A = this chain, B = another copy of it.
Amino acid sequence: MKDKKSIADNFGACPIPLDNYPHIVMAHGGGGQMTNQLIKEMFNPVFNNQFLAAEHDGAVFDSAGKKAAFTTDSYVIQPLFFPGGDIGSLAVYGTVNDLCMCGAVPAYISLSLIIEEGLPMQNLWRIINSIQKAAERTGVQIVTGDTKVIDKTGGGGLYINTSGIGFIEHDLNINPAAIRNGDLILLSGDIGRHGIAVMATREGLEFETELTSDCAPLNDIVQKILTAGIPVHCMRDLTRGGLASALIEIAHSAGNTLEINEETVPVTDAVGGACELLGFDPVYVANEGRFVMFVPQEHARQCLKICRNHAAGESAAVIGRVTEKKQGTVVMKNRIGGQRILHMFSGEQLPRIC
């Protein structure tokens, strides 16, 4: 009791109800409601600053009159190698993509490895080369790093943190607060392949068609959209928690109601079938090379064309719009006219997926 009291005296009481959650559970890292609770009720109030308040994929700061973006992500995916990628390329593309979502051109990446004792050296070598290949493909440099080794615990073998710096060459203010009534919502392609591919590998499931992760860099496609002069209001890549969580976060931040037509959301037969079999909703499944964009209606056609002409956006589609309502919710209209409000899932749908 003494210990508990002295903590409370120093910091105030823990904002997470300790009776309900005395310990961290897997769902706190799932990208859903419980992750959000940690961030919004514990981290952001304590660290209290305008960068975190922006609720973006990275922090945008000013240096000598030039805008720069700064972001971080740790990767704990299991297995380390999966169809369509590995933890190394994922760690580079994931951080590059977060910078892109801030409208920045990625430049410098840091690489911090936490290696579990016993990791085969050959696997490390393969991953290091994959990182460099991904860096070359996206025009970034691995400029600083750190290596730690932890005891063998039967964990994943390797955790990677990549942080990144990019520079912003335009005057757009890309964030949820910039979205407007009437904006169209573009999705860059079919969803759910990353999550299903990783899980299938992990669980040894076999499907008729081989599923490959959508893990890919978004720097080139975003750059083409921005240099074409499309006045993008907001972008968000769809990782943990999938399309649904990204849209819900944006709706919450912006206060607008988003209306999505479910039948326009591209889902491959393979992913659709796997989700049906496993009881997942594809809109909640993780992606690593997909994003949504909010653009003024008059620019949507041109933006869609640019996407469809790019390998990273071949199956891009307009999936909905920002309505005049101000409820901060996402309404999904289904194929037969019904509609449902999308909620953050609170459990852990697919753990260790990124």
Set of chain B residues within 8 Å of A26, measured between Cβ atoms? 117, 149, 151
A74 touching B148, Cβ below 8 Å: yes
Q: Mark A124-136, 1 if CB is under 8 A from B, else 0.
A: 1110110110010
Q: Is A14 within 8 A of B122, CB to CB? A: yes
A-side interface mostly = mixed
A349 contacts across to B, CB distance below 8 A: none
Residue A42 CB within 8 A of the other chain = yes
Chain B CB within 8 A of A68 CB: yes
Chain A residues 48-84 with CB under 8 Å of chain B are 49, 51-52, 58-59, 61, 63-66, 68, 70-76
Q: Which residues of B contact A351 (CB under 8 A)?
A: 149, 151
Interface membership of A352, Cβ < 8 A: yes
Instruction: Compute how far the CA of A227 lies from the CA of B110 in the bound complex, rounded to whole angstroms.
Output: 29
A167 CB within 8 Å of chain B: yes
**A114-153 at interface with B (beta carbon < 8 Å):** 114-122, 124-126, 128-129, 131-132, 135, 141-151, 153
- Are A155 and B147 in contact, CB atoms less than 8 angstroms apart? no
Of A158-166, A174-182, A256-264, A275-283, the stretch lying at the interface with chain B is A158-166
Q: Which residues of B contact A125 (CB under 8 A)?
A: 7, 11, 14-16, 42
Could you tell me if B42 and A163 are in contact, using CB atoms closer than 8 angstroms? no
Q: List 9 A-B contacts (CB under 8 A).
A: A7-B122, A7-B126, A24-B121, A49-B141, A49-B143, A52-B142, A72-B163, A73-B112, A74-B146
